[in-house]
Amino acid sequence: MAELMSLSLEKAHSYTRMALPLMGHHGIPTTPMNYSIWYNYVTGENPKLKETIDIMLKHGDQFTEEKNKVLYSKFCALYDEVKIKKLQEGLTMVLITLASEVQGLSIHTEDYEKLLSRSMVLLSDDRNGEKLGVIIQDIIDETKSLVQYGKTIQQKLEQTTQDLEALQQEYEHTKKEAAKDPLTGIANRKAFMEEATQVIRDANTRSEPLALIMADIDYFKYFNDTHGHLVGDEVLKFVAKKIKSMVKGQDFVARLGGEEFVILLPRTGFAGALHVAEQIRSYFDLSELKSQTLATRLGKVTLSLGLAMYEPGETLEALIDRSDKSLYLAKEKGRNRVATQRDLETANTP
């Protein structure tokens, strides 16, 4: 297994040496997202990705930022799950090998103990010392054998430790990438659902308040159609970065998809959460954006936000639903505003 793992690591290095020059040749920035695309391309383990890139190369297509994002989203984002599965298989093989070696050591140790017991019996019966030389030689031979096997085991255990460390590093990297939204770099929907589940559990255990804010960019489709998807992507990245900078360390920001973001505020009451939502809304209302790609002013991009407070014992889905309905109410009332579950209650009162 150690030899196979060494070969595997050597293969990984060779794939890296193949992928990076290709990226440089085609003018592709060396980002984690782009590296994942081209690493998978040179390995050939993702046939559909390889076929798509080969067609693009044949037609002389340019690998623009937008096209790179499409390639990653289509072929690599879900591929991370496959990588996790392979890591599980790799770890299983390491453990099988390790168990086998430990069992072998146990057998050798047991044989050595039996030899010592036999030798003591022989010594007690050998009053004239006639068998002393044979007994000593047997012990010497068996001791040397055990020491040599121990050295072999030590070497294998050292290699196994390296294999496990390599698997751990690869797992941590894959796990981080799988939790990221490839465009904005913030957490994705999957990461949010996992975080929210844990935060709700903590809120129930500690009887602490918890707020959820959903935010949506107003008229984003019109904006995209007017300025193009590249500029639209710039706006999404800016909005994500700015929202993340406006919350505290314990708070959690994620992109749910499209132009919709979510902010989880643990240990935050209604007044505090409303203040955060209004701060975010106000910032964008007072700001005028400028495109770095087109070097032109884009005007104002506003947000509508919906706020809901967690109610003890309810499900995550119920909390999301009330926050989403609050967001929808903010849209109905004219956008560029914050609506809360209290506004929902008022709107539903006859």
What is the domain partition of the chain in residue ranges? 2-77, 81-178, 189-347
Q: Pick from 71, 28, 66, 39: which is nearest to 53 by CA?
A: 71
Give CA torsion, residues 27, 33, 39, 44, to 10 deg.
-110
Which residue's entry shows tokens 């453990």? 95
Query: Of the CATH numbers 3.30.70.240, 3.30.70.270, 3.90.870.10, 3.30.420.10, which one belongs to the domain with range 189-347?
Result: 3.30.70.270
pLDDT mean across residues, the chain = 80
Digit-coded pLDDT (tens) for 123-141: 666 555 566 566 666 766 7
Per-residue pLDDT band at 182 (split at 50, 70, 90): confident
How far is 195 from 218, CA to CA, in rounded Å?
Answer: 27
DSSP secondary structure letters along 51-81: HHHHHHHHHT----HHHHHHHIIIIITTHHH
| Residue 259 annotated to the active site | yes
Digit-coded pLDDT (tens) for 191-246: 899 899 999 999 999 999 999 999 999 998 888 888 888 888 888 999 999 999 99
State how far the alpha carbon of 199 is from the alpha carbons of 53, 180, 190, 194, 261, in Å: 41, 19, 14, 9, 18
> In what helix (H) or strand (E) does residue 6 lie, and over which residues does it extend?
helix 2-25
CB crowding 262-294: b at 16 or more within 10 Å, else e: bbbbbbbeeeebbebbeebbeebeeeebebeee
Instruction: Copy the structure tokens of residue 67.
Output: 């096209």
This model's pTM is above 0.75: no
Q: With beta carbons less than 8 A apart as the criterion, state whether 236 and 223 touch.
A: no
Catalytic residue, chosen from 259, 288, 311, 317, is 259
Determine the pLDDT at residue 5.
42
Identify which of 81-85, 117-121, 235-239, 286-290 has the greatest average pLDDT: 235-239
